[in-house]
Amino acid sequence: MKAKSFLSTIITILSIMTTQAQLKPIAYSDGEQKLEGQLAQPKKELKNKAGVLLLPAWMGIDDNAKENASELAKLGYITFVADIYGVDKRPKDTKEAGQQAGYYKTNYAEYQKRIQLALDQLVKAGANPDKIAVIGYCFGGSGAIEAARGNMKVQGIVSFHGGLGRDATRTISPITPKVLVLHGADDFFVPEADIKAFQEEMNKAKADWQMVYYADAVHAFTHKNAGSNKASGVAYNEKAAKRSWEAMKAFFAEILN
């Protein structure tokens, strides 16, 4: 039994190393602020060199972001995980994460700037500037929607359980990127008023948008380390995670191929 356990541990470590080997730290900056993203280069790129910019959740570049970047690289997409906060401003806990994420949600122009800087790195890494999508999780999902609101030069955005709210005084401008929102049907962190306002915004902006609801899913339903306590409002839902990933892939087949 001990030998089997040891072998299992070695296989797990090798598996993690194989996944992480695809990731390469990339240093860049926003003025004096040093940033460091993660690049996942596929072993076999798509012929059109399509790229994906991944915006992580409020804790920054976490294991979930790295794992998903690696999976996207396996599909052939050049993938870059953005650093929104900076190398010396990684949140130590959820309190700090909430403060930092809240700052960028309020100061959305600065959030959009950090997203654009990361997009520039993705193109620099070899991604076709005419074949790029932005995806994001939770706080990053809000960022993906900001990329659409800012009409960044991308073909589409995917928001996984992201916030949908916006300052009602903001001007609604036409949105060119296609929009896919993947939402937990029981996510009480996103008020019904925000959902209604978002849908009205998309219609006024004449956006090509879709919104998919997943039953029995709350906030952070794609995060494997989110636990299983639905009552807390944050929980992993394997079925919703798999279905939303497939929805993203189908969306990519439409906009990136």
Alpha carbons within 13 A on the beta-carbon side of 257? 8
pTM recorded for the entire structure: 0.92
- Copy the structure tokens of residue 53: 């910019």
Where do the structural domains in the chain lie, given as residue ranges? 26-255
pLDDT interval class at 119 (50, 70, 90): very high
Dihedral angle of Cα 212, 150, 103, 98, to the nearest 10 degrees: 20
Indicate the pairing of strand 33-40 with strand 78-81. antiparallel
Mean pLDDT calculated for residue range 118-145: 98
Query: Looking at residue 11, what is its pLDDT?
Result: 47
SS3 204: helix
**Protein fold of 26-255:** Rossmann fold (3.40.50)
SS3 78: strand
Percentage of residues of the chain with pLDDT beyond 90: 91
Using alpha carbons only, what angle is made at residue 62 by residues 58 and 66, rounded to the nearest 5 degrees? 130
Query: Looking at residue 257, what is its pLDDT?
Result: 87
Cβ atoms of residues 138 and 220 within 8 Å: yes
